[in-house]
Amino acid sequence: MENNFFSKSSDESSIAKRLKQLNKAKVGFYSIGLYPASLAYNCAMHSNEKNLLLAPRPGRELFGAFSRELFSELKPEYIQRIRDMSCYYKGGKSHNYSLSDLFQSCEIVVLSANSNHIENDLIEALSIRDTVNRSEVLIACLVGSFTYDKKNESPTLLCEKYTNLAFFSGFHRHGALRNPLDSFTANFCHPDPLNALLASRLINNLSPNIQVSAGVHNIEGQYIKAVKNISSIFAGFAHYVHRDNPGLLPTLLTLLLNQCLDQAATVSMSRPDRNNFYSKGSLPLTEIGYGVQRIEAAISKEKSFSKVRDHTFSQLIPMVADLKGSMMLPISGKPTRNFQVGEIMACNISRLGRCPNNLEELIFWCEERGLSRGALEGINSLIYLPFILKKYSIPYQESSMINLLYMSIFSSEEIKKDVYRILTNSRKLTKYCQESVRPESSFMLDMLFDQIEDDDIIKHISKYILDKHFDPVSTEEILSKKSLLNCSSVGSDYAKVKSNFIELLN
């Protein structure tokens, strides 16, 4: 997929001409839901520039995503400005902008549909861009969930399937963009740093309250967004059920945050074009975004440390802020919709004394409380979670928290009883937090120490201390021989959940 501001530029004069075009370019949003309409409201409040165009999905109302209560809070003069952004007049009649109109008038087109429509919208957008001969218009998406690749019959990230697709996202609370005092930080990610920088400037010009930073990690950014939406559900659940245990929440929320970033780093390592960030970029990777530092990670391998990652997420500060913010209760207004899903789930679990029977029951609970199915991107991602973890070989300890959430909805009734006890008991959940993020060798050693009165186990530990080398295979053999792997001793809740999850994974 070609997606570049300068695809037709072949000499200095054509590049200079293109730069002048981009200096006063318009940005278009297609498919106007709550987020793009709120962003437009922010622009209407703070800017008189006519550089934002909106194209509602055919058959949909411009403000259709707003409830009557929310719409009544909007000021009439800003509503009219937003309407002016979405239509033109011809023959004395008003006409809504179409996707084709955006490609003829804008230099960036953001496809803002959720996962139900996004890929069809992208295919249509590429076709229209060719038809109107506007190949230099940059296409971006902001979909925050995994999508399903029908051709390969597997879940995927849209930015991985279309590697040059730009990704736009940032920190916004439910309603924050309509607050005249609130600011909005975001990332615009494109594999080429120069395109990312120019696109960020264009979106920055929409409103003085919007600050957009460039980034190249489009695939990683989309992954963070998708797994963030799942984590936000867990955060909402934990805030409701464990609100009287202030010591648990910081631990749980920190684990959710760290695991999201660990998973994104693993995804980053698997992308085939990763080396291009360092060797073929128009700017060094470390010279865009919020910081210039390079983050390196190491792993213990054969008694020595090997460098396994060489990347930076410092450029994705707004997305990390979005991740943190989506797991917190706001000082005013409502939390994110995914957070609300977690609260609704917690309320019903506490009332019924059980996990939801199935996904359909959870969705029913949400719709009963006014959350539409189409807005639940966290649930859309959660459905595909096992396949995504398997695809990228993400280890259990990097995803254990959201795995627990998955089991509460999709496992058998018998397993859900164990999961329910962990989720609703602060001590058990704290223990799960501690055990589930540890490497397998550390967990096995702990189980050995728990049975230290056994002579065979003492002998095995003594050998480890003497040799200064831990052998996980022989340790697993002795634990199995002693029937300790699934015993009721320390870590059994974690061991049981992990075993059941891996069984589902396979």
- Dig out the tokens for 224 from the structure: 């963070």
Instruction: Write phi, then psi, for 223 (nearest 5 degrees).
Output: -65, -45
Higher pLDDT, 315 or 45: 45
For residues 53 and 101, what is the distance between their CA atoms, to the nearest angstrom?
A: 9
C-beta neighbour count of 337 within 10 angstroms: 21
Would you say 402 and 234 are in contact if contact means Cβ atoms under 8 Å apart? yes
- Dig out the tokens for 231 from the structure: 């984590």
Average pLDDT over residues 329-353: 91
Average pLDDT over residues 172-185: 72
Higher pLDDT, 42 or 460: 42
**Would you list the DSSP string of 362-409?**
HHHHHHHTT--GGG-HHHHHHHTHHHHHHHTT--GGGTHHHHHHHHHH
- Reported for 89-98, long-range contacts at CB under 8 A and 24+ positions apart, including other chains, are 96/55, 96/56, 96/62, 97/28, 97/53, 97/54, 97/55, 98/55, 98/58
Would you say 185 and 171 are in contact if contact means Cβ atoms under 8 Å apart? yes
Please determine, for residue 474, whether its predicted confidence score (pLDDT) is greater than 50: yes
Please determine, for residue 470, whether its predicted confidence score (pLDDT) is greater than 80: no
**Would you list the DSSP string of 286-355?**
GGSSS----EEEEEEETTEEEEEEEE--GGGHHHHHHHHHTTS--SSS---HHHHHHHHHHHHHHHHTS-
Sign of CA dihedral 461, 463, 467, 470: negative
pTM: 0.88
pLDDT score for 221? 92
Element (H, E) at 213: strand 210-215
Please determine, for residue 415, whether its predicted confidence score (pLDDT) is greater than 70: yes
Please determine, for residue 491, whether its predicted confidence score (pLDDT) is greater than 50: no
For residues 338 and 492, what is the distance between their CA atoms, to the nearest angstrom?
A: 30
- In this structure, the dihedral spanned by the alpha carbons of residues 42, 48, 53 and 55, taken in order and rounded to 10 degrees, is 60
pLDDT score for 463? 78
pLDDT score for 295? 54
Please determine, for residue 489, whether its predicted confidence score (pLDDT) is greater than 50: no
- Which spans in 24-181 are helix H? 34-46, 68-72, 76-86, 99-105, 118-131, 158-161
Longest dimension (CA), the chain: 93
Average pLDDT over residues 224-241: 95
For residues 419 and 409, what is the distance between their CA atoms, to the nearest angstrom?
A: 10
For residues 156 and 388, what is the distance between their CA atoms, to the nearest angstrom?
A: 7
Q: Is 161 exposed, middle or buried (0-12, 13-18, 19+ CB in 10 A)?
A: middle
pLDDT score for 490? 40
pLDDT exceeding 90 applies to what percent of the chain? 49
**pLDDT tens, residue by residue, 68-115:** 888 888 999 999 999 999 999 888 888 999 999 999 999 999 999 988
For residues 242 and 247, what is the distance between their CA atoms, to the nearest angstrom?
A: 9
**pLDDT tens, residue by residue, 182-219:** 778 899 999 998 999 999 999 999 998 888 999 888 99
pLDDT score for 309? 56
pLDDT score for 306? 56
Instruction: Write phi, then psi, for 296 (nearest 5 degrees).
Output: -120, 140
**Would you list the DSSP string of 168-179?**
EEEE--TTGGG-
Higher pLDDT, 72 or 139: 139
Average pLDDT over residues 334-347: 93
Average pLDDT over residues 223-230: 95
Average pLDDT over residues 397-416: 93
pLDDT score for 488? 40
Which residue, among 157, 165, 169, 188, has the nearest Cα to 288 in the 3D structure? 188
C-beta neighbour count of 247 within 10 angstroms: 9
For residues 145 and 154, what is the distance between their CA atoms, to the nearest angstrom?
A: 14
Q: Which domains occur in the chain, in start order?
A: 12-224 (3.40.50.720), 440-492 (no CATH)
Please determine, for residue 331, whether its predicted confidence score (pLDDT) is greater than 50: yes
Would you say 296 and 252 are in contact if contact means Cβ atoms under 8 Å apart? no
Q: Is 250 exposed, middle or buried (0-12, 13-18, 19+ CB in 10 A)?
A: exposed
The per-residue pLDDT of the chain, averaged, comes to 86
